[in-house]
Amino acid sequence: MGNRKSLLTPVLIVIVGFLTVCPVIMLVFGSFSTGLGTFGQFTLEKYIQAYTDPELAGIITNTIVFVLGSSAVATGLALLLVYLNTRTDIPFKFLFRIISIIPMMIPHILFSVSWVLLLNPSNGLINLFLRQVLGLENAAVNIYSLWGMILVEGLLDLPIAYLILAPAMASFDVALEESSRVCGGSTLRTLFRVTLPVLRPAILAAFILSLVRSLASFAVPSVIGMPGRIYVLATHIYQSIATGFAADYGKAAAIGMSVLVTSITLIYLYRYLTSESEKYVTISSRGYRPTVIRLKRARYPLFGVVGILSLVLIVLPVLVLFYTSLVPYSMVPSMKAFSMMSWKHWIEVIHDPISILSLKNSVFLGVVGATLGITLSVFVAYAIVKVRSHASGILESLSFLSFSFPGIVIGVGFMWFFVRTPLYATIWALLIGYIATYLPYGVRPLTSAFIQVHSHLEESSQVCGAGAFTTMRRIVIPLLIPGIVSGWILMATMFVRELTLSVVLSRPGTEVLAVQIFRFAEDGLWGQLSALGIMMIFISTTLVILATLVGIRFKPMEESG
Amino acid sequence: MEIRIRNVSKHYHSSGQVIKALDNIDLTIPANRIFTLLGPSGCGKTTLLRCIVGLESPDSGEIEIGGETVWSRERHIYVPTEHRGLGMVFQTYAIWPHMDVFNNVAYPLQTRGLPREEIRERVAKTLRFVQLEGFEDRPATKLSGGQQQRVALARALVAEPKVILFDEPLSNLDAKLREETRKELRAFLTDLEITAVYVTHDRIEALALSDMVAVMNRGHIIETGTPRQIYFHSTHRFVVDFIGRTNLIDAVVTSPRGGLTVVDCALGEVACRRHEAFDTGDRVTLCLRPEFIRLKRGDAARAQNVFSGRIDELVFIGEAYEGEITVNGLQLFIKTEPDSDIRAGDTASFTVDPNNCILVSK
């Protein structure tokens, strides 16, 4: 037994190390090569080429404004929502939970597209509507701008910020606030002098994670930024490998290096802050109810804000896509529009071999990829939580590393690797890339699942006369199932909608849903895009609903009294 | 069943240091008694319990349960936990959250492959015994702390083991429930023909529950005896101090008088019950428990074991007054009845029965 355990961690370190370190090393080597064919000859040519590009300064400025702006939007909104939800008497609190999980169901690319459909200057529905009503000459709002990008990306990163802030706010010791009140501080003064400062590490953590997310974001910069000729680093990298006469992977790697370094630095900062915030915010052991702040007259206006936000986040994108999939071309909803509706785009998509292939590929990657990814995660989490040695510390850091991987950059790294193997241009290349990039999303729920299985639960089974196998079958596995299932669903939904990595690794024959949608967007085939998009949302939603049902199924027994 | 532990040692290595969790332990736990391992945290009591049940293996020595050797390094014997046929109640109860009460309790019988009908009968019988009749279908984690504790007890008892082990089973309950559960547990265990080994750091729990107590410290068993022996006749300073609040006073043995050992200390001359182990001139520690210091208001005539002093402080705590008295510059911890008329600042005198004056080596 002891021997097998001591072998497990090194084997896992090799596997996870390959998955996470290999693309980084290949990226480094690639950046010092002239092209995919001349790997290994050291040259600074590509760095010089990439970093003396006169356009780069403007791109970096755009990136900084975009990343900081969208993170500020996401964190600010999340903070408002979390505060209203946990600490005030705002009505219809269930809406907040929905807002926080919805973007898991709506893929980022579709969300971005739906905003283009609403607000693009030539035929965006809202713009058309405003032009008709107000008799304007030009479009009222132009989504193809830095502001448009910031707003849409901010909404997309909102749930991540929410998920970090919500537990911090919930575990906040209200006595800290109460003592401020006793000392004579008003509600507002308490909020700004006590509540927010105490939550500062959590707020910063949410902000930094949003930074990492928006730095890696490809959907918004490509769908909204590129038509408006606003380039950020992610689209700049994409441009150097996907357009022009020859794809320049060396230059892409050279630029990718600085994105990756920035991202890794931010993630380690995030990790430091979250360990800090655990020290900072104390969960009081007494059962307490946080004092609910009465909003009085502000109650319904504030709820109005939340209501509009949930409308914007949930209802509008799906509605716009569905509408666009049915009308022949962009037009404001009217009697005429409704009379012209047909299933034309749907039928076209179903008869389009590439769309069907991408649908099949994505479902395959979602199901098989998530199964393999979760199997690996079970072993990794077991080694981290239960074996506990110096080696398992290394394993934890390795499996956390890919959390900072910007998909497009790591895709370029993998490209340098796969082109040298028979895996190139196969679906397995995508599969390996997916698992490497999204491993933390499987490891994390399983780590907490393993932590829940207290060693006493296994030991008492042994004392009751059960051997190792029976203990595994009757105690450990049943207790892990909720974690396994939710991890699987999380991975599967992410794989089904994967865009940033696929856009680099996907070749003819290995198209996936998000890439196909991206192609439709580039070609302006909005009707077909919307039809395929609705199918994609349907697949993701089915998976999420399944997850919720499984969660409910295991809930009553799981709660510890 | 009797449990024999011979020369058992267990060392841990932590950051370059060797921690002796168990240091050559020799112990015989008598059959069909409640035997308690008492000691401060980190004294090795839980490690010893886990070695008995087989969840940990000692570095050396032998463990024998009911005449069968279950562990011997020298003879390469290791009976795995699941084949030792013991019962155990964990500190966290270790109730399996995904099973209802019935399945939690039935588990030991299921692993032994008993017929379904017999399992149902025996689970019902055991649940009746721990007063959880009709709780079979409840999810086990929905029960209160005390009820969960009884489910854990039922699970440990259902296979009718000859030995049951308890690892601080009451420490997760609140004070009042702990007292009730302790009484229940005592009643349950005395009804059964079973050897119970109980680990705790709570001296009241140990004294109230046990037939025998072994006090442990730093991997050693310091002293073993009945609760009364441990309380009244301990010969170890650590035990006297751990088992109750005590005034420890440096003293020197002088010549014996009338069958009593007499010592000289800061209080003056104190007559103690006969301690054969000490001779005139020996340096010893005199242990005076506050509950045996009988206070009276005002001065008293000089007599054997009568001392006068000034009350420094006296705090009303409900069931008693607690405080300090200074006699000849020596401050003693005292305790008196809640209806006492003595107050802080008063002059007071006290007597101690020589029988309650314990001497231990310095």
CATH number at residue B334: 2.40.50.100
Least-confidence region, from A174-178, A330-334, A355-359, B155-159: A174-178
CB pairs under 8 A between A and B: 80
Strands B87-89 and B163-167: parallel
Residue boundaries of the structural domains of chain A: 2-23+56-558
Judgement on whether residues B262 and B140 belong to the same structural domain of the protein: no
**B228–chain A Cβ distance below 8 A for any pair:** no
Determine the residue among A458, A463, A550 to mutate to test chain B binding: the one whose Cβ has the most chain B Cβ atoms within 10 Å: A463
What is the rounded distance in angstroms from the CA atom of residue A33 to the CA atom of residue A44?
Answer: 8
The pLDDT tens digits of the residues spanning A243-283 come to: 766 778 888 888 999 999 999 999 888 888 777 655 544 43
Examine the domain organization and report whether B223 and B257 are in the same domain: no
**Residue A331 per-residue DSSP state:** -
Hey, what are B300's tokens? 């008293």
d(CA A324, CA A318): 10
Which residue range(s) make up the domain with B332? 245-361
B177: CATH: 3.40.50.300
Q: Is the pLDDT of residue A180 over 80?
A: no
For residues B40 and B143, membership in a common domain is answered with yes
State the sign of the Cα–Cα–Cα–Cα dihedral B336, B342, B347, B350: negative
What is the C-alpha separation between B82 and B113, in angstroms, rounded? 13
- Whether residues B304 and B283 share a domain: the answer is yes
pLDDT (0 to 100) of residue A421: 86
A190 pLDDT exceeds 60?
yes
Contacts of A467 in chain B (CB under 8 A): 80, 82
Q: Which of A461, A463, A478 sits opposite B98 (nearest CB)?
A: A478
Q: Do A71 and A211 touch, CB atoms closer than 8 A?
A: yes
∠ Cα A436 A442 A447 (to 5°): 125
> Do residues B145 and B7 share a domain?
yes
**Model confidence band, residue A103 (pLDDT cutoffs 50, 70, 90):** low
The shortest CB-CB distance from A561 to any of B88, B98, B148 is to: B148
B142 to A467: CB separation less than 8 angstroms, yes or no: no
From residue A39, alpha-carbon distances to A25, A30, A32 in Å are 12, 7, 8
Among candidates B94, B139, B159 on the partner chain, residue whose Cβ is nearest the Cβ of A456? B94
What's the gap in Å between the CA of B122 and the closest CA on chain A? 15
User: Is the separation of the CB atoms in B354 and B302 below 8 Å?
Assistant: no
**A456 closest CB neighbour out of B80, B92, B108:** B92
Q: Which residues of B touch A558 (CB under 8 A)?
A: 97-98
Q: In what order do the strands lie in the sheet with B87-89?
A: B87-89, B163-167, B195-200, B34-38, B212-217, B220-225
Q: Does B107 touch chain A (CB under 8 A)?
A: yes
- C-alpha span between B256 and B270 (Å, rounded): 11
Claim to verify: residue B63 and residue B186 sit in the same structural domain = yes
The last residue of a domain, from among B240, B259, B275 = B240
**B96, B138, B151: best to mutate for the A interface, most A CBs within 10 A:** B96
The answer to whether the Cβ–Cβ distance between A557 and B99 falls below 8 Å is yes
What beta strand segments (E) does B201-260 contain?
Answer: 212-217, 220-225, 247-253
ipTM entry = 0.78
Q: Final residue of a domain: which of B240, B266, B282?
A: B240
A461/B107 touch (CB, cutoff 8 Å), yes or no: yes
Average pLDDT, chain A: 83
Report CA Rg, chain B.
Answer: 25
Residue A557: what pLDDT? 44
Q: Is the pLDDT of residue A455 over 50?
A: yes
- Residue-wise pLDDT for A14-39, tens only, equals 999 999 998 999 888 888 887 776 66
B85 and A465 within 8 Å at the Cβ level: the answer is yes
How far is A368 from chain B, CA to nearest CA, in Å?
A: 28
Which range has the worst mean pLDDT, A90-99, A425-434, A444-453?
A90-99
Average pLDDT over residues A501-515: 90
Asked if B109 and B191 sit in the same domain, the reply is: yes
Residue pair B91/B169 in contact (Cβ under 8 Å)? The answer is yes
The percentage of residues in chain A with a pLDDT greater than 90, rounded to a whole number, is 25
* C-beta atoms surrounding B266 within 10 Å: 15
CB B321 within 8 A of CB B348: no
Q: Are residues B40 and B82 in the same domain?
A: yes
Mean pLDDT in order along chain B per 10 residues (362 residues): 91 80 91 92 90 89 91 89 88 85 90 90 90 86 84 89 90 82 86 90 91 93 93 90 90 87 90 87 91 86 86 90 91 90 88 90 82
Max Cα distance, chain B (Å): 78
Selected residue of B111, B126, B166, B167 to mutate for chain A interface (largest A Cβ count, 10 A) = B111
How far apart CA B325 and CA B335 sit, in angstroms, is 10
A500 or A169, which is more confident: A500
Q: What is the residue-wise DSSP string for B81-113?
A: GGGS--EEE-TTTT--TTSBHHHHHHHHHHHTT
Min Cα–Cα distance to chain B from A487, Å: 19
Q: Residue A465 is nearest to which of B55, B94, B111, comparing CB atoms?
A: B111
- Region A429-442: mean pLDDT is 92
Provide the pLDDT for residue A288.
45
What is the reported pLDDT for B326?
Answer: 92
Structure tokens at A97: 């939970």
Q: Find residue B100's DSSP bridge partners.
A: B139
Report the side by side order of strands in the sheet with B77-78. Answer: B17-29, B3-14, B60-65, B68-72, B77-78
Mind listing the pLDDT tens digit for each residue in A513-552?
999 999 999 888 899 999 999 999 888 888 777 766 766 6
Amino acid in position A246? A
If you measure CA to CA, which chain A residue comes closest to B166? A460
pLDDT of A495 over the 50 cut: yes
Q: Is B87 on the interface with A (CB under 8 A)?
A: yes
Q: What's the number of domains chain B is made of?
A: 2
Q: Which tens digit of pLDDT belongs to each residue from A274-303?
A: 776 555 444 333 334 556 777 777 788 888
Q: Kindly report the nearest CA distance between residue B155 and chain A, in angstroms.
A: 8
Contact by Cβ (8 Å): A304, A320:
no
B115 and B174 part of one domain: yes
Look up residue A16 and give its DSSP letter: H
pLDDT above 80 for A160: yes
CATH number for the region A2-23+56-558 comes to: 1.10.3720.10
8 Å CB contact of A459 and B97: no
Closest CB to A466 among B55, B87, B111: B111
Smallest CA–CA distance, residue B98 to chain A, in Å, is 5
CA-to-CA dists, residue A381 to A471, A479, A488, B180, angstroms: 18, 14, 14, 41
pLDDT digits (tens, 9 = 90+) for A39-67: 667 888 888 888 888 889 999 999 999 99
DSSP for A279-308, written as a single string: HHSPPPSS---PPPBP-GGGHHHHHHHHHH
**Residues A187, A189, A191, A195, Cα dihedral to 10°:** -120
CA of residue B333 relative to chain centroid, distance: 23
How far out from the chain centre does Cα A57 lie?
28
For residue range A350-403, what is the model confidence (pLDDT) as tens digits? 899 999 999 999 999 998 999 999 999 988 988 888 777 778 888 888 888 888
Q: Which of B240, B272, B306 is where one domain is finished?
A: B240
Model confidence pLDDT, tens digit, residues A420-434: 889 888 999 999 999
* CB within 8 Å of B238: residues ≥ 6 apart: B215, B217, B222
Query: What per-residue confidence (pLDDT) applies to A561?
Result: 31
Q: What does the block give as tokens for A542?
A: 């089915």
Interface of A with B (CB under 8 A): 454, 456-457, 459-467, 470, 474-475, 478-479, 554, 556-561
